[in-house]
Amino acid sequence: MTDQMMTLAAIENLCLQALMAAGASEDNAAAVARSIMLAERDGIRSHGLLYLPIYAEHVRCGKVDGMARPVVSQPRPGAVVVDAATGFAHPAIDAGWVRFIAAARENGVAAMTVFNSYNCGVLGHHAERIAEAGLLGLCTTHAPASIAPPGGRVPVIGTNPFALGVPDGAGGVALVLDQSASVVAKSEILLRAREGRPIEPGWALDAEGLPTVDPAEALKGSMLPAGGHKGFGTGLLVEILAACLSGAVPSKDASPFSGALGGPPKTGQCFIAFDPSAFSGGFSHQVSSLVHAIAAQDGARLPGGRRQAARQRTERDGVSVDSALIERLEALAH
């Protein structure tokens, strides 16, 4: 079947209707629908419409409580804590957002942790949102275990990404860095498995600890950390912040984000925001100088450059979506 062009507004509305039809409240569905739309806008297919059937399935089977109401508390002036109540991460993050940003501006720095949570979509979008508020944002989220320690075979941490959102001092965003502890996001291997395409060498090991290009075997084994033991160390840092500090279920004990088995994963997030003006008067100038030093070099690209290019293209032209996928998603919505 041929592809069809969809506007970003049409994508967001389709996601909203499908999630509500699955049993999510309008507020919860709206937060997730926006996240999927933003992923499609930035060309991040692995977190876009392809994930919508999984979200809908998880609402129907109870892996995610579509009617959850997050509970927000603020035990200290710079600490915001959100219980996602086994619902989607997106509305839980939204529930604590105003307090979190206000606390960072008041104290110079603040952190927000989320527990009893779930997949939070593209982590860089949350970091970008902090930067749009004029703050420096460091975001972490963990996931069900898929990376074994160096020398081991049993996964103990997830792909565990972190994202950094840097404000430009003029109401915009200087750059967004978003990367996982693994060579590639696990969602990319899931995408390859659904499409029947092999993965790239060096992405994963099978259950015996041997290199594989078969996505099905990779999903039974473990992801390879980026940079070997250093990548595992990055994932461990994220695990400490997003799981241990938040009080979430550790990656090694969390149920998978894919499939209907295992009940709610109850994972977590940790976001930290700094007000640059509380620490240095020259922050924006130094960031600008650093960005220029990178961008001025032929062949060099700032982190997030591809996403920005995709964003400009899709905002102008819309998104090309497989007709069969549209039919499947429209069936979910009705």
pLDDT of residue 70: 98
Query: Which residue blocks in the chain are alpha helix, DSSP H?
Result: 8-22, 26-41, 52-61, 89-107, 123-132, 186-195, 215-220, 229-238, 283-295, 305-317, 323-333
The tens digit of pLDDT for each residue in 278-306 reads 999 999 999 999 999 999 999 998 998 88
Mean pLDDT of 90-111: 98
Two tokens, residue 209: 């600890």
Task: Say if CB 302 and CB 295 are below 8 A apart.
Answer: yes
Q: Is 58 an annotated catalytic residue?
A: no
Query: Whole-angstrom Cα distance, residue 112 to residue 100?
Result: 6
Mean pLDDT of 40-67: 94
| Three-class DSSP labels, 85-147 | CCCCHHHHHHHHHHHHHHHHHHHCEEEEEEEEECCCCCHHHHHHHHHHCCCEEEEEECCCCCE
Query: Whole-angstrom Cα distance, residue 251 to residue 253?
Result: 5
> Among 30-34, 77-81, 149-153, 270-274, whose mean pLDDT is lowest?
149-153
Q: What is the pTM of this model?
A: 0.93
Query: Whole-angstrom Cα distance, residue 263 to residue 174?
Result: 40
Task: Say if CB 165 and CB 136 are below 8 A apart.
Answer: yes
Query: Whole-angstrom Cα distance, residue 111 to residue 226?
Result: 27
Judged on CB neighbours under 10 Å (0-12, 13-18, 19+), 43 is middle
User: What radius of gyration do the chain's Cα atoms show?
Assistant: 20
C-alpha 140: how far from chain center: 9
Two tokens, residue 12: 């967001």
Mean pLDDT of 184-211: 87
Query: Whole-angstrom Cα distance, residue 221 to residue 209?
Result: 7
pLDDT of residue 195: 86
The β-bridge relationship of strands 136-141 and 222-223 is: unpaired
Among 25, 35, 40, 47, the one annotated catalytic: 47
- Is the pLDDT confidence value at 1 over 70? no
Mean pLDDT of 322-329: 90
Two tokens, residue 11: 């994508």
pLDDT of residue 15: 97
Q: Is 46 an annotated catalytic residue?
A: yes
pLDDT of residue 234: 96
**pLDDT > 90: what percent of the chain?**
81
Among 12, 188, 217, 239, the one annotated catalytic: 188
> First vs last Cα of the chain: how many Å apart?
21
Three-class SS state of 258: coil
Task: Say if CB 144 and CB 283 are below 8 A apart.
Answer: no
The domains found in the chain, sorted by start residue, are 1-61+304-334 (1.10.1530.10), 69-182+225-303 (3.30.1370.60)
